[in-house]
Amino acid sequence: MLGQRLDEPETGAGGGGLGLPSVRRRNTAVVALTVGLWVAQYVYLTARSVIIEGPMLEQMAFRRIFTCAFGVLLCFAMARLLRRLGKSSFSVQVSWAVGLSVIASILWSTGNLAAMQAPPALYTSKFPDSLREIGVNTLFMVWSFLSWSGVWLALAYNERLAERELQLSQSQLAAADIQNQMLRYQLNPHFMFNTMSAITTLIAEKDLERAEQVVLNLCRFLRASLERAPQDKIMLRDELGLEQQYLSIERVRFEDRLAIEVVAPPELEDCLVPGLILQPLVENAIKYGVGPARGLVTVRVEARAVEGELELSVRDNGGARRPRTNGHALGVGLQNVRRRLDAIYGDRADFRAEPQAKGFEAVMRLPLERMA
């Protein structure tokens, strides 16, 4: 949990469609469903004719190839019409699917009769008998079309659900990216205020040489930090370099009252971290550890690998400080560190900041990532 030493009180709380691969997968599933249905239908009808020892089995089996191909075309036409209803409610799509299934069954039954009676006719029937045959076949085949429609609607519903999840995920990523940028931008003015105050103090004391040195160091620091976008991750070596430039500014102010230790194994220097994520922690150590102290205070910035994660810590020995009684009155700097980590890593990162027996320590755990 976060500790209580704060840099300043906090006053407030801080669609697109599916891509081409998804469309191809959907179309492939529809084709496989349709062809599979009518191959099974062909096998079933042919096997039934063999079992009941119907007449002219070979001729009927041959013509049944065309009637099943006609069924495939009818299903493709239904899919095309139903796809146009993609933005309609699910109940509307179901109603259309039922209606189209009935119409397709009638058309297929009519086509099947025409195929069997085409010259040379395998059998003939008069109008009332033909109409009765179409009706019987329609009642039989409607269940096949309804089954096809049910599976198609399930695929369409799953596709819509996946699209909504994708849109939600994209919205969450965009929101996290915007939040990360806002939090990063919020840190820079706070740092600038402290540095300008230091420069003003040096000028008031007519220590122009040190004021000029602070300005030069500030320019180098800003140039290095502003070259990168706020949402970018940078190598650990660059992040530590930025903090060393910042500490060089503060060293001009505090002279022999500030000692700096930066410890990082060479094998971790290419790890990726959010840019300026250490800045508020180092600034906090300077303001509350070095600022009030009369003697030498050491600010130690350390990086190490712990259980497959990257641990970054900032610690000072500026003296024991009692925590505030209100553990929720978090300062902007420490809160922003936690919020940036939440925005970038979610629950994969951890952050704690708390007083020690002598001094204060802030520690963050991040996923150990390297440049690809």
Q: Give me the domain span that covers residue 55.
A: 20-170
The per-residue pLDDT string of the chain (372 residues; one tens digit each, 9 = 90 and over) reads 444 444 444 444 334 444 455 567 777 888 888 888 888 888 887 887 777 666 677 787 888 888 889 989 999 999 888 888 877 888 888 899 999 999 999 998 898 888 877 777 766 677 787 788 888 888 888 888 898 888 888 888 887 787 777 766 765 665 555 455 544 545 556 567 767 887 888 888 888 888 888 888 888 777 766 666 656 788 999 899 888 888 887 887 777 889 999 999 999 999 999 888 898 899 888 888 888 888 899 999 999 999 999 999 999 998 655 344 334 444 667 877 888 888 888 889 999 998 888 889 999 999 999 876
Q: How many CB atoms lie within 10 A of CB 32?
A: 10
Predicted structure pTM score: 0.50
In a shared domain, residues 130 and 271: no
Sign of CA dihedral 331, 334, 337, 340: negative
In a shared domain, residues 243 and 131: no
Q: Where are the beta strands (DSSP E) in 271-371?
A: 272-274, 297-306, 309-316, 350-355, 360-367
pLDDT at 180: 54
Which burial class, exposed, middle or buried, applies to 75 when counting CB atoms under 10 A from its CB (0-12, 13-18, 19+)?
A: buried
Distances in Å between the Cα of 114 and the Cα atoms of 70, 119, 128, 324 are 12, 10, 15, 90
What does the pLDDT look like over 172-213, one tens digit per residue?
665 555 455 544 545 556 567 767 887 888 888 888 888 888
Locate all alpha helices (DSSP H) within 84-235, ordered by sequence.
Answer: 90-117, 127-204, 208-226
Please check whether residue 104 lies inside any domain of the structure: yes
Q: What b/e readout covers 140-170, taking b as 16+ CB neighbours within 10 angstroms?
A: ebbebbbebbeebbebbeebeeebeebeeee
pLDDT at 2: 43
What does the pLDDT look like over 258-279, one tens digit per residue?
999 999 999 999 999 988 889 8
Please check whether residue 1 lies inside any domain of the structure: no
In a shared domain, residues 203 and 287: yes
* Proportion of the chain above pLDDT 70, given as a percent: 78
pLDDT at 267: 94
In a shared domain, residues 148 and 213: no
pLDDT at 248: 81
Q: Which CATH number covers residue 242?
A: 3.30.565.10
In a shared domain, residues 252 and 289: yes
Which of 153, 170, 187 terminates a domain? The answer is 170
What does the pLDDT look like over 216-234, one tens digit per residue?
888 877 776 666 665 678 8
Coil, strand or helix at 92? helix
355 upstream amide cis, omega within 30 of 0: no
In a shared domain, residues 181 and 109: no
Contact status, residue 282 vs residue 246, Cβ threshold 8 Å: yes
Q: How many CB atoms lie within 10 A of CB 93?
A: 19
pLDDT at 23: 60
Taking each continuous run of H as one helix and of E as one strand, the counts in the chain are 8, 7
Number of domains comprising the chain? 2
Which of 145, 170, 195 terminates a domain? The answer is 170
The tokens of 238 are what? 């660059």
